[in-house]
Amino acid sequence: MAYAAFRSIGAYAPEKILTNEDLSQMVDTTDEWITKRTGIKERHIAAENETTSDMGVKAAKKAIERSGIDPAQIDMVVCATISPDYFCMPSTATIISNKLGLGNVTAFDISAACTGFVYILSIAKAFIESGMKKNVLIVGAEKLSAITDYTDRGTCILFGDGAGAAIISATEKKEEAIIDVHTGADGTYADLLMTPNGGTGSPHDSLTQEAGSCFMQMKGNETFKVAVRTLTKDVVDILKANNIESSDIKHFVPHQANYRIIKAVGDALGMKEEQVVLTVAKYGNTSGASIPMAINDIYESGELKAGELLLLDAFGGGLTWGSALVPFSPLLRF
Ligand code: UT7
């Protein structure tokens, strides 16, 4: 049987930085409020002509280079995004694979908001374990600044742009394999976090409204409570199902939405401070890109080493959620 190994990570954050101070000139807020309620200090914002696929390509190039795998061997590209280059088609994954010159590969996007990276990880794992694919490039990429209402202080302080990518490859070595991925969704909470207008579900005349039609809207406080509950349960379930203790986890990588959410979940799970990966202060919430950007940070700082066990934990619009137990298995070690 083929197993799926997490071979490499790469990420990209755009050059421009939007600070809390900058935001306090735009809406009625303060650095103190944002820092206290979210832990966010700044977020990166893509250039006007920089697309989601542009950022995805930059992250993917690093992941491919670090994987040691010949790009010609990549047979599938999956992109998680809620801010695609184009509304319906072509998919951002096809644009990324074309810009990378990957030729004839399977390519498609999925929409699972902030849980997107865990969803595409599960897809890569399933395709590889079934024997259908051998080397899958997964990309979480978001230009959330394009769907953020910068007059709404309840949301604009949270979101940022960026991308993260990973190569998942077939292996025969069980010790290299992704141990488990759990995913779930509950549409009864759909209205907590949504872009209400612009699709076929919105009133017809809203399509004629400009600008605000595709901005994100969020019931922040309700979302917060469900997030803490769901993220905690996700981890309890996946650890129990695999007979693994929280102390066995080297790096707990939760979706970076809000420091208070991460702290509450980490405390409920008995995670030590050094286990919890935190990047929310410098990137804000980058939705489907947040987890791979965080993994990339610990890779680039030298904290993530071959063989160490990552626990991913995500939650987002839909509502969707997911968790994953992932040993970091770069090719070069074995
Ligand atoms: O990634 C997907 C999942 N997303 C999340 O998990 C985000 C979850 N939610 C959150 O992170 C938090 O709910 C927020 C950071 C969005 C808001 O924090 P909160 O502690 O839940 O605040 P709140 O919405 O209960 O609002 C408290 C007060 C309100 O004023 P009043 O009614 O008490 O007078 C708000 O109007 O804070 C006010 N407020 C602000 N004040 C200054 C809301 N946003 C701001 C702001 N600056 N930016």
Per the structure, the complete domain to which residue 65 belongs is given by 1-334
| CA-angle at 314, arms to 167 and 61, nearest 5° | 25
- Cα separation, 317 vs 321, whole angstroms: 9
- The residue whose two tokens read 């968790």 is 323
Nearest to 238 by CA among 135, 309, 147: 309
155 CA to centre of ligand 1 in angstroms: 8
- Cα dist. 218→66, 169, 191 in Å? 37, 37, 8
Query: Closest Cα partner for 296 from 13, 26, 43, 79?
Result: 13
Task: Determine contact, residues 282/42, Cβ cutoff 8 Å.
Answer: yes
* Residue 235, helix vs strand vs coil: helix
Ligand 1 binding pocket includes 20 (Cβ within 6 Å)? no
Residue 69, phi then psi, degrees to nearest 5: -100, 135
pLDDT of residue 333 exceeding 60, the answer is: no
- Percent over 90 (pLDDT), the chain: 93
Q: Over 60: is that where the pLDDT of 208 sits?
A: no
Task: Give the pLDDT confidence score for residue 334 in this predicted structure.
Answer: 46
pLDDT band with cut points at 50, 70 and 90 for residue 319? very high
DSSP codes, 132-197: S-SEEEEEEEEEGGGG--TT-HHHHTTB-EEEEEEEEEEES-GGGB--EEEEEE-GGGGGGEE--S
Distances (CA, A) of 16 to 115, 251, 275, 282, 305: 25, 29, 30, 12, 30
C-alpha to C-alpha distance for 268 and 248, rounded to whole angstroms? 16
Specify the pLDDT at position 198.
78
pLDDT bin (cut points 50, 70, 90) of residue 200 is confident
Interval 41-58 mean pLDDT: 98
Indicate if ligand 1 lies below 6 Å from the C-beta of 154: yes
- Backbone φ and ψ for 99, nearest 5 degrees, come out as -65, -30
CA of 257, closest atom in ligand 1: 1
Compute the distance from residue 196 Cα to the ligand 1 centre, in Å. 19
Nearest CA to ligand 1 atom 20: 37
Let me know: does 132 contact 124? Beta carbons within 8 Å: no
The tokens describing 7, both together, are: 């071979």
pLDDT in tens, 262-315: 999 999 999 999 999 999 999 999 999 999 999 999 999 999 999 999 999 999
Q: Residue 6: beta bridge partners? A: 168, 328
Tens of pLDDT, residue by residue over 142-198, are: 999 999 999 999 999 999 999 999 999 999 999 999 999 999 999 999 999 999 887
The total of structural domains in the chain comes to 1
**Closest ligand 1 atom to Cα of 154:** 44
- Number of the ligand 1 atom closest to the C-alpha atom of 317: 2
Please identify every residue annotated as catalytic.
Answer: 114, 255, 285
Angstrom CA distances, 184 to 195, 306, 314, stand at 20, 29, 10
- Dump pLDDT digits (tens) for 88-139: 899 999 999 999 999 999 999 999 999 999 999 999 999 999 999 999 999 9
Per-residue confidence (pLDDT) for residue 201, from 0 to 100: 81
**What is the mean pLDDT of the segment spanning 73-90?**
96
